[in-house]
Homo-oligomer: A and B are copies of this chain.
Amino acid sequence: MNFKLTLLAGAVALGTLGSAAIGDSHDEKALLAAVEARQAVMKLYAFNVGQLAAMAKGEVEYDADAATAAASNLAALSALDQSKLWPPGSDTEALGDKTAALPAIWQADSMAMKHGMDLANASAALAESAGDGLDAMRAAFGEAGKTCNACHKDYRQRRN
């Protein structure tokens, strides 16, 4: 997973480029394409999380195969190489309401890369145990959910 290296490279590039390049329409188009692509990843996270949440809450009957399929999707999605999806300058201060990504993601002390790896690891564990009964799935699902919240808490802009 190149997430870590990418964010480090992004932080360095941000120091060099600042937001000076954002005014260029070609650059902004590329930034927005990256934003849309990472939002597509988030949408697919949410869709698969939704399948598991419905079972965890008892709204839908637990199904080992369906739970494994959703968890395996989540594991595959969180293991994608997202190195092109988080270019420096694609934060909400630069792009406004096109994104909720806070500039802190690209700062030197950012924990975003760690949260991304935590999600990948927790999703892999969830995929392993999702078929082992509702209790096992629910426990692993809770652990994966913590990694979502950990990143959103600090790095996603709150909206009313």
Contact = CB atoms under 8 A, between A and B. Distances in A.
B40 A69 contact: no
Main secondary structure of the interface of A (DSSP, over half): helix
Contacts of A84: 47, 51, 69-70
B51 A43 contact: no
Interface in A57-84: 69-70, 72-73, 76-77, 79-81, 83-84
A44 interface: yes
A50 B30 CA distance: 11
Task: Categorize the interface residue count of chain A.
Answer: 20 to 34
B47 A43 contact: no
A41 interface: yes
A80 B48 CA distance: 11
A69 B81 contact: yes
A33 interface: yes
Contact of A79 (B33, B37, B76, B81): B76
B36 A69 contact: no
A47 B85 CA distance: 9
A15 to B, nearest CB: 22
A73 B80 CA distance: 6
Contact of A40 (B44, B72, B85): B44
Interface of A: 2, 33-34, 36-37, 39-41, 43-44, 47, 50-51, 69-70, 72-73, 76-77, 79-81, 83-85
